[in-house]
Amino acid sequence: MEKRRYFGTDGIRGRVGESPITPDFVLKLGWAVGRVLGRDGGKVLIGKDTRISGYMFESALEAGLSAAGLDTALLGPMPTPAIAYLTRTQHARTGIVISASHNPYHDNGIKFFSAEGTKLPDEVELAIEAELDKPLACNDSARLGKATRLEDAAGRYIEFCKSTFPCGRDLAGLKIVVDCAHGATYHVAPAVFDELGARVTAIGVEPDGLNINDGVGSTHPETLQRRVVEEGADLGIALDGDGDRVLMVDGDGTLLDGDELLYIIAMERQARQALEGGVVGTLMTNLGLEHAFAREGVPFARAKVGDRYVLEQLRASNWRLGGESSGHIICLDRTTTGDGIVSALQVLAAMTHSGRRLGELRAGMTKYPQELINVRLEQRIDVLALPTVQAAVAEAEARLAERGRILLRPSGTEPLIRVMVEGQDAAEVTRVASELAEVVRTAITAA
């Protein structure tokens, strides 16, 4: 496979103002996308999250697409999965999302959905990169694209989300705190749960362009945990900045991560004989989930980290359910991509079906202690190939033996090396992770 220069595991991402996240590059990116995906015209949807740079990049993309002859429909702030859904139902050539997901406001990114509402194939991303090498050329004035605004985008998506909850059931009697991370779900998520009958307290719903993911949302669930207890709520739902991830909080303030939510959804489907195969996790999925599935007779497979790889494995196995510890859960029997609101509704369906609380539903799974340390990379080097790092990992694996596992991997979205250690003994896990992280830091400095 040819190496990509710009595309990572989830589009193109970086710090605003630094290559490639600059207005001139994004303008040419829009033009390149138009050249590859719309040689005979068509329509493109553009949505964004709430970070301030979204205005700038929305205009740049629109200009580039227009120069290539494609019409654009602007959606404004909308969750990433909403853009996937609307791209499909609006019969658009592609859907473009301006978002850096769970990252701080000073980062941004561009990611794409195909006409089917799925991530673009590798060959299309490579074709776009090849087009970027060519000089930008503007169509004749008579063949430029037009721009419109899809005014009812939020309402369409709200109705879609509600349709994924079992017909004939509602959320009446449940008190829910919904944390929207001051992000793209701020104007849709509270409405979904409210219209299904829950009593909703919404937090993280005052975006100002700079506060996305700042102390709220799935990257800072402690805010929601406190609020759930203070409100005496039955549960809390924490979404990330672009709405494709979800974590949940039980009424006593206990946090449930993506592995535990995946377990609840899978067990509810298995009880209804509706699981349709097995479940896909990733290299980061807690070993406790794998063991729980084994006890329940549920097939389980691991994919590389990243929702695109989970989706690839699901398709290869013809399964329907997969996800990541981060809360990125894919329910292919409901939608085409990870959707925080839809995933939360599947967990709530399990609650209303069983009459049990979140903590009771996840009781069949025991998580192993897991320590994750992020080590920042200041330069592009292959840390995992360094002899000192390889030797330290081998020595640590020998010490843990069958009691645990170790995973070092570069982040697909940030300049980080993620050091993960998992095992039965919490103190040993913490010690090994700290030692390995220090070896990695030293190796980076020496390189």
pLDDT (0 to 100) of residue 40: 74
Top pLDDT among 428 and 403 is at: 428
pLDDT band at 381 (very low <50, low <70, confident <90, very high): confident
Q: Please spell the DSSP secondary structure of 337-370, one letter per residue.
A: S--HHHHHHHHHHHHHHHT--HHHHTTT--PPPE
- The 10 Å Cβ neighbour count of residue 353 is 14
Q: Which residues are catalytic?
A: 101
pLDDT band at 130 (very low <50, low <70, confident <90, very high): very high
Residue 237 parent element (H or E): strand 235-239
CATH of 257-367, one of 3.40.109.10, 3.40.120.10, 1.20.140.10, 3.30.1390.10: 3.40.120.10
pLDDT band at 431 (very low <50, low <70, confident <90, very high): very high
Q: What is the CATH number of domain 170-254?
A: 3.40.120.10
Q: Are residues 114 and 120 in contact, defined by beta-carbon separation less than 8 angstroms?
A: yes
Once rounded to an integer, what is the mean pLDDT over residues 336-347?
97
Report the amino acid identity of residue 308.
R
Judge if 12-151 and 170-254 fold alike in CATH terms.
yes
DSSP structural state of residue 279 = E
Share the mean pLDDT of the chain: 95
% of residues, the chain, pLDDT over 70: 99
Once rounded to an integer, what is the mean pLDDT over residues 263-291?
95
pLDDT (0 to 100) of residue 67: 96
Q: What is the CATH number of domain 370-446?
A: 3.30.310.50
Q: Nearest 5 degrees, angle CA 95-CA 311-CA 84?
A: 20
Residue whose C-alpha is closest to residue 282's, from 200, 172, 370: 370
pLDDT band at 411 (very low <50, low <70, confident <90, very high): confident
pLDDT tens-digit map of 72-81: 999 999 999 9
pLDDT (0 to 100) of residue 2: 65
pTM of the model: 0.90
pLDDT tens-digit map of 2-54: 678 899 878 999 999 999 999 999 999 999 999 999 877 789 999 999 999 99
Once rounded to an integer, what is the mean pLDDT over residues 209-230?
98
Q: Does domain 12-151 have CATH number 3.40.120.10?
A: yes
Whether the predicted pLDDT of 403 surpasses 90: no
Once rounded to an integer, what is the mean pLDDT over residues 362-368?
93
Q: d(Cα 440, Cα 442) in Å, to the nearest integer?
A: 5
Whether the predicted pLDDT of 1 surpasses 60: no
pLDDT (0 to 100) of residue 253: 98
Q: Are residues 112 and 6 in contact, defined by beta-carbon separation less than 8 angstroms?
A: no
pLDDT (0 to 100) of residue 108: 98
Q: Which of 310-324, 383-397, 409-423 has the lowest mean pLDDT?
A: 409-423
pLDDT tens-digit map of 69-124: 999 999 999 999 999 999 999 999 999 999 999 999 999 999 999 999 998 988 99
Whether the predicted pLDDT of 306 surpasses 90: no
435 phi/psi in degrees, rounded to 5: -65, -45
Q: Are residues 75 and 86 in contact, defined by beta-carbon separation less than 8 angstroms?
A: yes
Once rounded to an integer, what is the mean pLDDT over residues 266-295?
94
pLDDT (0 to 100) of residue 59: 98
Q: What are the residue ranges spanned by the domains of the chain?
A: 12-151, 170-254, 257-367, 370-446
